[in-house]
């Protein structure tokens, strides 16, 4: 089997490495020095997908769980309580549990891999990143007030941004502040702020607007995970998307190894990822339409709409997918 180099050490990289190693490829992982996310909320869907791919049926069954959402979304909205089910972990803990045990196949090792999978930046040139918005997010460690419910997460929209409070223990939580600086958002807050007893300095700032690169693949390389695209955290589907992208990426590599390079396979990969990105934008658009009616919300909504239009122009209205996944393999649609 050909040698595959995977650049990155996040969920997408580990998933690609795990699947290709199982399929008999010689896989090397090239870690990237980067900050880890302090908290990830894994939905039941994401957790089930990860457990299935990595054959870990009991993964994180004893970790803290969010059982309800308290949402105040829209101008002067009243808090609404919704049932929810998600596990809260740090990215470090998630990766420690998913790190693949790669089989050494020295007889296949060469200095030049047949494939490079970019699961972290930078990606090959010439590649263009398309950004649809400008919002930034800050992650802030906080302690919860005495009366706050650690089994609930809290979401609130404000005039120039939104807050997301995610407990990770009975007394502590992480606050995600998107838009205006965190102190300004907390001063306006009627719902999230009372849940916080004390906050520490922000642990880091990162882009929270959707982004995608183009092209996403060519002969000998492809991008997946955060190297391919990044999502708005409002939808909470980034980890599941990364796993699905990695499943498809590994299937493309397996298909090319078996049948040789084929433009239709690369076109399918590009279109599938772009279609998933567009679905995320459409989902996000509804949040930004209803979150507020001021200039900040309208500006970010305009960026999302630009992204949807860009995807339409690339995909076309009647794009026909020529392949489908069956398990972890790609098959032509007859």
In the DSSP assignment, the letter for residue 145 is P
In Å, what is the CA distance from 52 to each residue of 55, 58, 279, 326, 327?
Answer: 5, 10, 24, 14, 11
Q: What pLDDT, on a 0 to 100 scale, did the predictor assign at position 334? A: 64
- Tell me the CATH number for domain 3-38+90-129+210-332: 3.50.50.60
d(CA 150, CA 152): 5
Phi, psi of 259, deg, nearest 5: -115, -5
Q: What pLDDT, on a 0 to 100 scale, did the predictor assign at position 30? A: 94
Domain ranges of the chain: 3-38+90-129+210-332, 64-89+135-208
**DSSP letter string over 246-293?**
HHHHHHHHHHHHHH---HHHHHHHHHHHHHHHHHHHHHHHHHHHHS--
**64-89+135-208 placed in CATH 3.30.9:** yes
Q: What pLDDT, on a 0 to 100 scale, did the predictor assign at position 103? A: 79
d(CA 120, CA 34): 9
For strands 65-72 and 211-214, give the pairing: unpaired
Contact indicator for 39, 204 with CB cutoff of 8 Å: no
DSSP, collapsed to helix, strand or coil, labels residue 93 as helix
Contact indicator for 219, 240 with CB cutoff of 8 Å: no
Token digits of residue 236:
């909470």
Token digits of residue 88:
């809260």
Dihedral, CA of residue 5, residue 9, residue 12 and residue 15, to nearest 10: 70
d(CA 85, CA 68): 7
Kindly give, in sequence order, each residue whose CB lies less than 8 Å from that of residue 207, ignoring residues fewer than 6 positions away: 131, 135, 136, 137, 230
d(CA 323, CA 267): 10
Q: What pLDDT, on a 0 to 100 scale, did the predictor assign at position 14? A: 97
| pTM (2 d.p.) | 0.93
Kindly give, in sequence order, each residue whose CB lies less than 8 Å from that of residue 219, ignoring residues fewer than 6 positions away: 261, 266
DSSP, collapsed to helix, strand or coil, labels residue 223 as strand
Q: What pLDDT, on a 0 to 100 scale, did the predictor assign at position 291? A: 97
In the DSSP assignment, the letter for residue 132 is -
Token digits of residue 329:
């393999």
Burial of 114 (0-12, 13-18, 19+ CB in 10 A): middle
Q: What pLDDT, on a 0 to 100 scale, did the predictor assign at position 250? A: 97
Kindly give, in sequence order, each residue whose CB lies less than 8 Å from that of residue 90, ignoring residues fewer than 6 positions away: 36, 37, 38, 39, 40, 168
- Beta strands across the sheet bearing 128-131: 128-131, 211-214, 229-230
Token digits of residue 103:
């089989």
Query: How would you write the pLDDT of the chain (334 residues) with one tens digit per residue?
Result: 789 999 999 999 999 999 999 999 999 999 988 888 899 999 999 999 999 999 999 999 988 899 999 999 999 899 999 999 999 999 999 999 999 988 765 555 566 899 999 999 889 888 999 999 999 999 999 999 999 999 999 999 999 999 999 999 999 999 999 999 999 999 999 999 999 999 999 988 999 999 999 999 998 999 999 999 999 999 877 899 999 999 999 999 999 999 887 788 999 999 999 999 999 999 999 999 999 999 999 999 999 999 999 999 999 865 678 889 998 999 888 6
Separation of first and last alpha carbons in the chain: 27
Contact indicator for 41, 66 with CB cutoff of 8 Å: yes
């Amino acid at each position: 089997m050909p040698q595959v180099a995977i650049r990155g050490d996040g969920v997408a990289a580990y998933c690609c490495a795990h699947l290709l190693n199982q399929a008999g490829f010689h896989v090397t992982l090239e870690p990237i020095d980067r900050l880890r996310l302090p908290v990830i909320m894994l939905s039941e869907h994401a957790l089930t997908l990860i457990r299935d791919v990595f054959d870990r049926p009991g993964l994180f069954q004893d970790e803290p769980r969010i059982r309800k959402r308290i949402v105040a979304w829209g101008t002067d909205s009243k808090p609404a309580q919704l049932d929810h089910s998600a596990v809260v972990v740090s990215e470090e803990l998630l990766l420690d549990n998913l790190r693949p045990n790669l089989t050494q196949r020295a007889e296949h090792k060469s200095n030049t891999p047949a494939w490079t999978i970019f699961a972290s930046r930078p990606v090959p040139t010439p590649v263009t990143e398309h950004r649809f918005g400008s919002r930034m997010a800050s992650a802030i460690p906080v302690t919860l007030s005495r009366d706050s419910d650690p089994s609930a997460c809290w979401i609130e929209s404000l005039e120039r941004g939104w807050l997301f409070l995610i407990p990770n223990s009975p007394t502590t939580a992480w606050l995600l502040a998107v838009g205006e600086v965190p102190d300004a958002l907390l001063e306006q807050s009627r719902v999230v702020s009372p849940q916080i007893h004390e906050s520490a300095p922000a642990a880091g700032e990162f882009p929270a607007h959707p982004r995608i690169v183009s092209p996403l693949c060519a002969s000998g390389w492809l991008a997946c995970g955060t190297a391919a695209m990044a999502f708005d955290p409002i939808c909470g589907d980034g980890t599941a998307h990364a796993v699905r992208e990695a499943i498809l990426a590994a299937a493309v590599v397996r298909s090319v190894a078996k049948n040789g390079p084929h433009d239709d396979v690369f076109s399918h990969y590009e279109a599938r990822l772009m279609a998933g990105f567009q679905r995320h934008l459409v989902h996000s658009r509804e949040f930004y339409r209803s979150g507020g009616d001021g200039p900040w919300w309208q500006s970010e909504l305009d960026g999302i709409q630009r992204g949807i239009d860009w995807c339409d122009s690339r995909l076309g209205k009647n794009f026909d997918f020529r392949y489908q996944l069956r398990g972890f393999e790609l098959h032509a649609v007859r």
